[in-house]
Amino acid sequence: MTFLSPNGLSWHRVMMQNTALGQQDPRRVIGMDELLGTGNFADPKKQVAFDPLVLEQCTKMGMATLVQTIEMAAPQDSFVTAVQEAEETFLQFAGRLTASVERQVDDPTARTLLLKHLVRSKCNAECRKIIEALPGDPSVPQMAEACAKVGTTGCKVAAVAAALQPAWNWPQGGQ
C-alpha cells in the first residue's frame, strides 16, 4: 500500500530521503514504523517522545494522506473532457480545471504548462478571444483577470458599443 505526500512522494521514498539528511537531523534515523505510527511505535506514549521535526513530518504526511483519501472519494472529472460550461464563469472553470489537473498530474512543472494550455483551449469562445488578445504569454491568473468581466453588464455594453462603432462613424443626417 502506497500513501502519497503533497509532493507525490511515497512514505517509503520520504523515509529513504531522510537517510540522506545530515548526522544531526533527527529525521535521519526514523523508519517506516515511526512515520506511520505502526509496530513498536503504535503506542502514543512512544510517539510523544519523538523530536519535534519528526512529529512535524509525520503530521504533514498524515494530513496529506487524509486529504488525498477525501479527494479520491470525490467524483473525479478528467481534465481531458473538461470544458467551460455556458453559464460558468472563467474563474469557476479555471478552478475546476486546476483541481482536476492537480489530482491527475504529479509533476508541478507539467501541471503548470498543461493547465495554461487547457485553459486556453477549453474555455468558451468569448474568453478565448480575450485571452488571444492578451500580449505575450499570459499566466492563468492574468487570463482569469482579463476574463473576469465576461458576462457583466459593463462587458455587454462594451461589446455592443464595439459592434456599433462602424455605424457611428457614418455621416449623420444631412451631412
- pLDDT value at residue 8: 45
Report pLDDT digits (tens) over 142-154: 999 998 877 655 4
Pairwise CA distance, residues 104 & 117, whole Å: 16
47 and 29 within one domain: yes
User: Residue 9 pLDDT more than 60?
Assistant: no
Report pLDDT digits (tens) over 81-133: 889 988 889 989 998 898 889 888 889 899 999 999 999 999 999 999 999 99
Is 6 part of a structural domain of the chain?
A: no
In this prediction, residue 6 has a pLDDT band, given cuts at 50, 70 and 90, of very low
142 and 89 within one domain: yes
Report pLDDT digits (tens) over 32-74: 888 888 888 888 888 888 889 988 888 888 887 777 777 666 6
Is 114 part of a structural domain of the chain?
A: yes
The DSSP H or E segment spanning 161 is helix 153-168
Is 117 part of a structural domain of the chain?
A: yes
Return the higher-pLDDT residue of 90 and 170: 90
C-alpha cell at 6: 503533497
44 and 110 within one domain: no
- Per-position DSSP letters for 58-95, written without gaps between them: HHHHHHHHHHHHHHHHS----TTT----TT--HHHHHH
127 and 109 within one domain: yes
Is 108 part of a structural domain of the chain?
A: yes
Host domain of residue 134: 77-151
The structure's pTM equals: 0.47
Residue with cell 477525501: 70
89 and 49 within one domain: no
Pairwise CA distance, residues 132 & 137, whole Å: 10
User: Residue 75 pLDDT more than 70?
Assistant: no
